[in-house]
């Protein structure tokens, strides 16, 4: 009996899609289950595929917005302190530039040393703030990605998707379920 070319193509496509999911960080078990589902769907002639724009979810979802506001509140005081230090440095630099020609050599060296110390202190404060913000942002992002994955999984199971992709070169609007995931996250 000759092989059905569509079934073969769908099966191959299912395996390729499963391999692309593996490259996105899915577990080997999830890939195997996805591949089995894709093969079963290919044999029956129906393959239900969805797409989720994770960048949009991370930008527009209610949990992402809450996490962003939380981080802004958490670092507002330190950001204000760094800005105050930067203003103090600018003011001291302006005063030094204005007065440097009227100062004695000893006073000029002392003020230049003070400016250098203040510049190092400002750079250190800015670097520490950036590092702490990045660390906290990554922590929040990890929790957010977990929530997104659970919401996507629930929709996939409820609507019986065989495969949901998170990256693609082209996506038809009829398989994009990003707005459904956004709505599900807003309800939580």
Q: What is the DSSP letter of 162?
A: S
Phi/psi at 128 (5° precision): -65, -40
Average pLDDT, whole number, for the chain?
83
pLDDT recorded at residue 155: 94
- Reported as a single tens digit per residue, the pLDDT across 61-97 is 999 999 999 999 999 999 999 999 999 999 999 999 9
- Specify whether the CB–CB gap between 184 and 151 falls below 8 A: yes
pLDDT tens readout for residues 49-63: 999 999 999 999 999
CA distance 23 to 33: 15
- What's the pLDDT score for residue 167? 87
Q: pLDDT at residue 181 above 80?
A: yes
**What CATH number labels 5-59+148-186?**
3.30.910
pLDDT confidence of 8, banded at 50, 70, 90? very low
Phi (first) and psi of residue 176, to 5 degrees: -80, 115
How far is the C-alpha of 149 from the C-alpha of 145, rounded, in Å?
6
**Angle formed at CA 104 by CA 102 and CA 106, multiple of 5 degrees:** 145
Give pLDDT tens digits for 114-134: 999 999 999 999 999 999 999
**Do the Cβ atoms of 166 and 52 come closer than 8 Å?**
yes
Collapsed DSSP state (helix, strand, coil) of residue 164: strand
* Res. 188 pLDDT band, cuts 50 70 90: low
Per-residue pLDDT at 113: 96
Give percent of the chain with pLDDT exceeding 70: 76
In sequence order, what DSSP letters do the residues of 122-161 get, joined into one string?
Answer: HHHHHHHHHHHHHHHHHHHHHHHHHHHHHHHHHHHHHTT-
């Amino acid at each position: 009996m000759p092989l059905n070319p569509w079934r073969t193509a769908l099966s191959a496509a299912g395996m390729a899609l499963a391999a692309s999911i593996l490259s996105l960080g899915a577990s080997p078990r999830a890939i195997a289950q996805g591949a089995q589902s894709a093969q079963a769907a290919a044999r029956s002639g129906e393959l239900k595929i969805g797409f989720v724009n994770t960048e949009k979810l991370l930008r527009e979802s209610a949990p992402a917005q809450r996490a962003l506001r939380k981080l802004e509140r958490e670092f507002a005081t330190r950001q204000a302190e760094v800005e105050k230090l930067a203003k103090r440095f600018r003011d001291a630099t302006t005063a030094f530039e204005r007065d440097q020609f009227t100062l004695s050599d000893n006073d000029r060296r002392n003020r230049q040393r003070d400016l250098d110390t203040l510049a190092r202190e400002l750079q250190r404060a800015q670097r520490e703030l950036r590092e702490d913000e990045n660390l906290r942002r990554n922590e929040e992002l990890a929790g957010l990605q977990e929530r997104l994955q659970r919401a996507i999984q629930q929709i996939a199971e409820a609507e019986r998707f065989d495969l949901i992709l998170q990256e693609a070169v082209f996506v038809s609007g009829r398989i994009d379920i990003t707005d459904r995931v956004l709505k599900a996250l807003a309800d939580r």
